Amino acid sequence: MPTARRQSDLVDVLAHLQRRDRHLLQLLTEHQVLTTTQITSVFFASLRMCQHRLDRLHALELVDRFARPRTRQDGGSQPAHWALGRLGYDLHAAAHAKPFISARAARQRLAQLAESPTLDHLLGVNQFFVDLAAHARHHPDMRLLRWWSEPEATSRFSGIHPDGHGLWQAGTGTIGFFLEYDTGTEDLPRLVEKLGGYERLARSGGPTYPVLFWLHSPDRESHLHQRLAGVASRCPIATATRHPTSPGPAGPTWAVVGHDVDSRIHLHQLDSHHGPDSARNPNWRGGRLTLDQPDRL
């Protein structure tokens, strides 16, 4: 029977899974797609080691891949983009007592992802968190304790729709943040309008986390600061511009709205409060503050 054959396939590959593989598959389940370069940054010491392991997982049908066309502007070859393969979906389904999907359905999902008009935005959001995870690998006193996707954050926090949410630990301190990844396609009033949801969350029993605008150009950042001048907000608002010479999201790159835009601070220096023991606050469970920690990031 087809069902028995699929179950047998999954059981057969379980013995080949390493702990790192399971963590990678969990990230692909939650965040849909990562490039070879991104996976290397989070998990491997070299690109060659990463490619070798991904080829093995691909042969086991735990992951699948697609390539994007080369352009004159980019030049060279594009890194492979990785998503769950049919047995990767089955592993997740088995862990949550859900039905397996067909091989055809898995390939359809891959094609839809490859052709998604929001793929670049998704990769950009994922890159932000990859950069934090990679930074933590080289700084033992730092950890990315939580990496929630937009669907996860939206389902956990009432009334907001961030592009991502995280908890960043530096030394003995842990701050939370909400990410707004900006590509320049929305006008500035729309960006400012988003702050209302975070304000209402903080006022009604949620955390008071900084809202981070990760912007595509210095001009965009300057104009946003001008627009936000005088805006009252319980949540700190910070901006930074992503570019090849940037110190990255962990480093001294954040300009706090209301302060000198040329005065930059580290992510862990931003004001942050995990909020009260409230039904609207997923940081609290059974009256205790609980900050989710992954196996390794």
SS3 120: helix
pLDDT at 294 exceeding the cut of 70 = no
Q: Across residues 185-200, what is the average pLDDT?
A: 93
Lowest average pLDDT, out of 52-56, 253-257, 286-290, goes to 286-290
Structure confidence at residue 254 (pLDDT): 97
CB 63 within 8 A of CB 82: yes
CB 46 within 8 A of CB 2: no
For 29, 30, 31, 106, the CA distances from 25, given in Å and listed in that order, are 6, 9, 10, 14
The backbone region for 72, taken as left when phi is positive above 0, alpha when psi lies in -120 to 50, beta otherwise, is alpha
Among candidates 225, 119, 213, 116, which has minimal Cα distance to 164? 213
Over the chain, what is the mean pLDDT?
Answer: 91
Q: What is the pLDDT of residues 133-179, one digit of tens each?
A: 999 999 999 999 999 999 999 999 989 999 999 999 999 999 999 99
Structure confidence at residue 261 (pLDDT): 79
280 vs 209, which has greater pLDDT? Answer: 209
| Tally of CB atoms within 10 A around 286 | 6
1: confidence class by pLDDT, cuts 50, 70, 90: very low
Structure confidence at residue 34 (pLDDT): 98
Structure confidence at residue 75 (pLDDT): 55
Max Cα–Cα distance, the chain, nearest Å:
67
Q: What is the pLDDT of residues 57-76, one digit of tens each?
A: 999 999 999 998 765 555 55
Structure confidence at residue 245 (pLDDT): 82
pTM of the model: 0.93
| Tally of CB atoms within 10 A around 211 | 24
Which domains, from first to last, does the chain contain? 2-116 (1.10.10.10), 120-289 (no CATH)
Range picked from 177-186, 223-232, 275-284 for highest mean pLDDT? 177-186
pLDDT at 8 exceeding the cut of 60 = no
Q: What does the DSSP assignment read for 19-86?
A: HHHHHHHHHHHHH--EEHHHHHHHH-SSHHHHHHHHHHHHHTTSEEEE-PPP-TTT-SPPPPEEEE-H
Q: Across residues 3-14, what is the average pLDDT?
A: 69
Q: What is the pLDDT of residues 83-102, one digit of tens each?
A: 999 999 999 999 999 999 99
- Cβ neighbours for 171, distance < 8 A, ≥ 6 positions apart: 141, 142, 268
Q: What does the DSSP assignment read for 214-260?
A: EES-HHHHHHHHHHHTT---SS-EEEEE--TTS--TTSS-BEETTS-
Structure confidence at residue 262 (pLDDT): 82
What does R_g of the chain's alpha carbons equal in angstroms? Answer: 20
